Amino acid sequence: MDRMVIMLKHSNVWTAIDRLAAEHGYSASGLARQAGLDPTTFNKSKRITGDGKLRWPSTESIAKILNATNSGLGEFVSYVNDSAGGGVYRNIPVIGFAQAGVQGFFDDAGYPCGGGWDEIPFPGVSDPHAYALEISGDSMDPVYRDGDIVIVSPEAGVRRGDRVIVKTMDGEIMAKVLKRMSALRYELQSINSEHEDPILQRNEVDWIARIVWACQ
């Protein structure tokens, strides 16, 4: 995995610094001091200028605090996560498209079961049944390409416009956009216009789960 798709916001970056400090037993000022910076570098009063402009931490200061705490950039990025679980790594199973369609890899609720699969560490996922799925095929080009990894949360609710993984009762696995759903059926959309937009009756669907993250 070469890249995590993540949005960086001013408040999140400063929260990441606070979380990194707390994780390693420092206050924000203590972390700055440990990194050889002015102790006031990360003070809350310095995060917004007197005229209301957002002040961002410098790349140099972030590099110094990572070095001071012997942390990697991946750990820092995990603290940027909006969720309360940001910064907490947990191993989640990695399942291929071919495996996902085989009987026995999921229970009736669409939760992965069994074992023996590869795992990857991933931060800030509160769903204990979350798993990584390796995309196969080109129906989601150019958003997801063959070999990309998506994080799927069976416990997350699905709604119109969500990118989802669907498993049919016949064992077919597909990555689509949920275009519309009713009491009787799911209308799905393929991002790649060369593929059809399937319409599935509810009794044709084994389970449907939302894609909550992408690693490309």
Structure tokens that stand for 29 in this block: 């000022």
What's the pLDDT band for 84 if we cut at 50, 70, 90?
very low
First-residue to last-residue Cα distance in the chain? 6
Q: How many CB atoms lie within 10 A of CB 10?
A: 13
Tell me the percentage of the chain whose pLDDT exceeds 90: 35
Dist. CA 188–CA 210, nearest whole Å: 13
Q: What is the CATH number of domain 91-215?
A: 2.10.109.10
Question: What is the per-residue pLDDT across 26-51, written as a single tens digit (0 to 9) for each?
Answer: 999 999 999 999 999 999 999 998 88
Q: 95 CB contacts (<8 Å, ≥6 apart)?
A: 105, 112, 117, 131, 132, 133, 134
Please confirm whether the linkage preceding 142 is cis (ω < 30° from 0): yes
Domain boundaries, the chain: 10-80, 91-215
- The answer to whether the 10-80 and 91-215 domains have the same CATH topology is no
Q: What is the CATH number of domain 10-80?
A: 1.10.260
Query: HSE (CB half, 13 Å, CA atoms) of 103?
Result: 2
Q: For 58-62, 134-138, 180-184, which range has the lowest pLDDT when averaged over its residues?
A: 134-138
Q: What is the pLDDT of residue 83?
A: 52
- Whether the predicted pLDDT of 201 surpasses 90: yes
Q: What is the pLDDT of residue 28?
A: 93
